[in-house]
Amino acid sequence: MSAFNNSYTNTPYMSELLKKHLQKTDVNSNLQNASQALVAPGQNLYKPQSAPVQNVNQNTTVQQMPGFNVKDANVNEPDSDSFALKDSNDKQIASDAKKNKNAQVAAVSLGVTMFVTAATLFGATKGGKGIFKKTVSKINSSINKGLHNLYQSHKSEKLDKAIENYYSMRSQLDFNGVMANTINGKDVLQRGVVEKLKGKDINIQNAGSFKKKAVEIYQNIADKVFGLYNRYDTATKGLYVRKGAGNLSGLYSRAKNAITKSNDDVLTALSNLKNSPKANETIMYKGKKVKIKDIIPDIEEMTKRRRENFDAFFTDDLIKQRYSAWDDFFMKDKDGKSLTEKTQKVFIERIKGKKFKELLSDSIADGLIRDEKIKRAAIVRGNKNKISNTLGSVLEENRDAVADVRKLIQHDDINSLHKLDEILKSIDKLKKTTFADTISSKEAQKTICSTIEELKKSIVKGAKKNGAGSADAIKALDDIKASLKNIKSGDTENMMEILEQVLEPETYEKMIKPGLIRSQKALNKACSMEMYDTVDKLRDINCGSAATDFMTAIMSTILLGIYTAQAENNDERVSVGLTTGLPIMSTVGTNLFAAINQISGGKSMIFSLGTGFVTKFICDGLNKIYRNSKGLDDKAKPSVATIDDYIDPYKNKIENVLKMPQNS
């Protein structure tokens, strides 16, 4: 009986009275009904009542009662796999929950990594900032054009008010200032947090001995911990500063080589000219008819002055001195304060004072050094102009002055603001132009000056709207126009104008002109780097950008480690590491390299993104080889999100746009 009870745990205990009763009845006709009636109440303990009834396993050894046929009784047996199935279901639910949690952790890690990567691409390098600036400029230009067309074609008080509000909002919001404040703000505030955590400013003057001892212990520990961060900060800053100085020296070295080479080419051409019949021809020179051979000494003197003026201000030692002087100024100005301290103070004051609009306008750090930046840039520009000075250089110098005129024009003078935007657009296009001849330079000069005159007329027409600002705006535009009309060419441009007349056209066009243009571009690029890019980079470095740039790479590595750890198994970890982890890391690493080396323009963006896509292409191939070698499906969807989940939707849209319609 015990065997029976042990084997069928859902069968109720049978008393001796019940056994005797069952022995006296027809088991085949009555036992099944009695058994089912007795078993039914316990059935719910294991499975639904609607579950099919299972017969007793015939192979089970059971000690039967006299006159009691277990097989014929068809007693309900609980499913032998019931407990195993329930346990399996519980484990499956737990497994699914774990997979979902892992997938969520992976998605967050990957999402943050990609966001940090994108933010770094558009913030850490000149290329990223340049693309951001161009994009904002393009959007503004399109909006301005559209609004002006509406203003001209639809006279509506509501429309005029909407346009005025747009110009008012734009005057208060500077996207480039927002980017600069975001970058510099996070850096100086991070340094501020580190200094605060050191506990040096804790007041213990009137504290008890226990508090003094506790603070002293904390400060000693904090000094050691955050001392490591300070050493890291100093090391990364030093790397950026050294690389920046080396890059600037390299640009000036290339400019010197270009000037030397062009000088040699000119002297060679003049030597050949002296012995040619053309030397006795006469041309108009300084208002007189002069033989060409008598002009040659003047040209030779110009080549000498080009070299001497370069060596007087642009030698490697002098460049390093100016570079070091900037770095010293940022570390401690005439008031003994570092740029980090001053920028941090202004940030905190504006945040505490809830002056958030001011954080959306001009760059705080750049505003603190603006006067010094203008003064030192003027010295560099003055020395450069002796060697080379074109309309492009003068437009670059006056661009900010033109932009500042906007502050003197009221928001409801829509026509004047539109004309000003058109002038700025022309300046941005022409300031990068290397004018190789006087004619093209004068034509561009005439175009800009005529648009300035149109703007002046518009401002006069809207004088009632602009009030006292009208006179100030017109005076500023007159000064700008005068500087454009009175450009004093450098020796390079003077040489080009004369050489075009005295040399054979083929000699000048093929041998001389290309070399002189290269020297112009090389010198302008080096000086522009020193006046603007290098100063901005040193400003950011001294606010703490170097440390945070490296921290971005470290943070990305950690996040990608967390991301790959969430994959289902080792094979999947290898796959997501190859197809997602390495491409992102190569992009971040290349971008960091570009930031350190001050790779300028769109080159840094193309370089970083190009490296990422090439790495992605190679790693996708490696992943396919790896999975095939393991007998795995190389097209199987991973259990976690991948970079493809972010790329493919856009890739499909582009493919659909580029797809040519099929002829039926």
Q: Return the pLDDT at 626.
A: 92
Helices (H), 462-577: 463-466, 469-485, 491-502, 505-507, 513-528, 534-543, 545-565, 570-576
Q: Predicted confidence band at 258 (pLDDT cuts at 50, 70, 90)?
A: very high
Q: How much is the average pLDDT of 175-187?
A: 78
- Examine the pLDDT at 3 and tell me if it is beyond 70: no
Strand partners, 290: 283
Indicate the burial class of 655 (C-beta count within 10 angstroms; 0-12, 13-18, 19 or more).
Answer: exposed
Residue in the block written with tokens 């929950």: 97
At 283, is the secondary structure helix, strand, or coil?
strand
Q: How far apart are CA 339 and CA 365, in angstroms?
A: 7
One-letter amino acid of 240: Y
- Examine the pLDDT at 353 and tell me if it is beyond 50: yes
Distances (CA, A) of 295 to 281, 285, 306: 11, 8, 17
- Examine the pLDDT at 639 and tell me if it is beyond 70: yes
Q: How far apart are CA 526 and CA 322, in angstroms?
A: 14
Q: Predicted confidence band at 47 (pLDDT cuts at 50, 70, 90)?
A: very low
Phi and psi, residue 455, nearest 5°: -65, -40
- Examine the pLDDT at 658 and tell me if it is beyond 80: no
Q: Which two tokens stand for residue 446?
A: 């005439």
Q: Return the pLDDT at 55.
A: 45
- Examine the pLDDT at 441 and tell me if it is beyond 50: yes
Judged by average pLDDT, the poorest of 450-454, 462-466, 567-571, 645-649 is: 462-466
Q: How much is the average pLDDT of 135-163?
A: 69
Q: How far apart are CA 51 and CA 45, in angstroms?
A: 12
End-to-end CA distance of the chain: 84
Judged by average pLDDT, the poorest of 2-11, 322-331, 364-373, 646-655 is: 2-11
Q: Return the pLDDT at 655.
A: 66
Q: How far apart are CA 586 and CA 615, in angstroms?
A: 7
- Closest C-alpha among 623, 640, 466, 619 to residue 563: 640
Indicate the burial class of 500 (C-beta count within 10 angstroms; 0-12, 13-18, 19 or more).
Answer: middle
Q: How much is the average pLDDT of 373-393?
A: 92
Q: 534: Cβ–Cβ under 8 A, 6 or more apart, which residues?
A: 244, 248, 323, 326, 598
Q: Return the pLDDT at 80.
A: 53
CB 43 within 8 A of CB 8: no
Q: How far apart are CA 93 and CA 85, in angstroms?
A: 12
Judged by average pLDDT, the poorest of 99-103, 159-163, 351-355, 462-466 is: 462-466
Higher-scoring residue by pLDDT: 386, 150 = 386
Indicate the burial class of 443 (C-beta count within 10 angstroms; 0-12, 13-18, 19 or more).
Answer: exposed
Judged by average pLDDT, the poorest of 129-138, 402-411, 444-453, 635-644 is: 129-138
Higher-scoring residue by pLDDT: 138, 255 = 255
**For residues 343, 346, 349 and 353, what is the CA-based torsion angle, rounded to 10 degrees?**
-130
Query: Considering the chain, what is the average pLDDT of its residues?
Result: 79
Residue in the block written with tokens 């009137």: 206
Q: How much is the average pLDDT of 475-485?
A: 89
- Examine the pLDDT at 20 and tell me if it is beyond 70: no
Q: How much is the average pLDDT of 267-292?
A: 91
Q: How far apart are CA 27 and CA 64, in angstroms?
A: 13
Q: How much is the average pLDDT of 161-166?
A: 75
Q: Predicted confidence band at 78 (pLDDT cuts at 50, 70, 90)?
A: low
Q: How far apart are CA 644 and CA 652, in angstroms?
A: 11
- Determine the longest span between alpha carbons in the chain, in angstroms: 150
Q: 31: Cβ–Cβ under 8 A, 6 or more apart, which residues?
A: 22, 25, 68, 72, 73
Judged by average pLDDT, the poorest of 53-62, 346-355, 358-367, 388-397 is: 53-62
DSSP letter (8 states) at residue 436: -
Q: Predicted confidence band at 437 (pLDDT cuts at 50, 70, 90)?
A: low
Task: Count CB neighbours of 26 within 10 A.
Answer: 8
Q: How much is the average pLDDT of 624-652?
A: 83
CB 392 within 8 A of CB 433: yes
Higher-scoring residue by pLDDT: 437, 296 = 296
Q: How far apart are CA 479 and CA 401, in angstroms?
A: 10
Q: How far apart are CA 538 and CA 28, in angstroms?
A: 101
**For residues 533, 539, 543 and 549, what is the CA-based torsion angle, rounded to 10 degrees?**
20
Indicate the burial class of 82 (C-beta count within 10 angstroms; 0-12, 13-18, 19 or more).
Answer: middle
Q: Return the pLDDT at 303.
A: 96
Q: How far apart are CA 267 and CA 249, in angstroms?
A: 27
Q: Element (H or E) spanning 289, and its range?
A: strand 288-291
Q: How far apart are CA 253 and CA 526, in angstroms?
A: 9
Q: Return the pLDDT at 79.
A: 54
Q: How much is the average pLDDT of 568-573?
A: 90
DSSP secondary structure string for all residues of 227-238? HHHHHHHHHHHH
Q: Return the pLDDT at 314.
A: 96
Q: How much is the average pLDDT of 561-572?
A: 89
Phi and psi, residue 155, nearest 5°: -85, 105
Judged by average pLDDT, the poorest of 121-130, 189-198, 208-217, 392-401 is: 121-130
Higher-scoring residue by pLDDT: 402, 152 = 402
Helices (H), 275-286: none
Q: How far apart are CA 42 and CA 242, in angstroms?
A: 83
Q: How far apart are CA 620 and CA 9, in angstroms?
A: 58
DSSP secondary structure string for all residues of 361-421? SS-HHHHHHHHHHHHHHHHHHHHHHHH---HHHHHHHHHHHHHHGGGGS-TT-HHHHHHHH
Q: How much is the average pLDDT of 218-247?
A: 87
Judged by average pLDDT, the poorest of 19-33, 163-177, 372-386, 617-631 is: 19-33
Helical pair 469-485 and 438-461, crossing angle rounded to 10 deg: 170
DSSP secondary structure string for all residues of 40-75? HHHHTTTS-TTSPP-PPPTTS---PPTT--HHHHT-
Q: Predicted confidence band at 619 (pLDDT cuts at 50, 70, 90)?
A: very high
Q: How much is the average pLDDT of 401-422?
A: 84
Q: Return the pLDDT at 173.
A: 65
Q: How far apart are CA 417 and CA 140, in angstroms?
A: 12
Q: What count of residues does the chain have?
A: 664
Query: What is the distance of C-alpha 497 from the center of its chain?
Result: 44
Percent of the chain surpassing pLDDT 90: 25
At 284, is the secondary structure helix, strand, or coil?
strand
Q: Predicted confidence band at 325 (pLDDT cuts at 50, 70, 90)?
A: very high
Q: How much is the average pLDDT of 376-390?
A: 94
Write a three-state SS string for 603-653: HHHHHHHHHHHHHHHHHHHHHHHHHHHCCCCCCCCCCCCCHHHHHHHHHHH
Q: How much is the average pLDDT of 490-506?
A: 92
Q: Predicted confidence band at 522 (pLDDT cuts at 50, 70, 90)?
A: very high
Residue in the block written with tokens 């019931």: 82
Q: Which two tokens stand for residue 617?
A: 């292409």
Q: Return the pLDDT at 518.
A: 94
Q: How much is the average pLDDT of 618-647?
A: 87
The pTM for the full model equals: 0.71
Residue environment code for 336-375, b if the CB has 16+ CB neighbours within 10 A, otherwise e: eebbbbbbbebbeebeeeeeeeebeebbbbbebbeeebee
- Examine the pLDDT at 640 and tell me if it is beyond 80: yes
Q: Predicted confidence band at 471 (pLDDT cuts at 50, 70, 90)?
A: confident
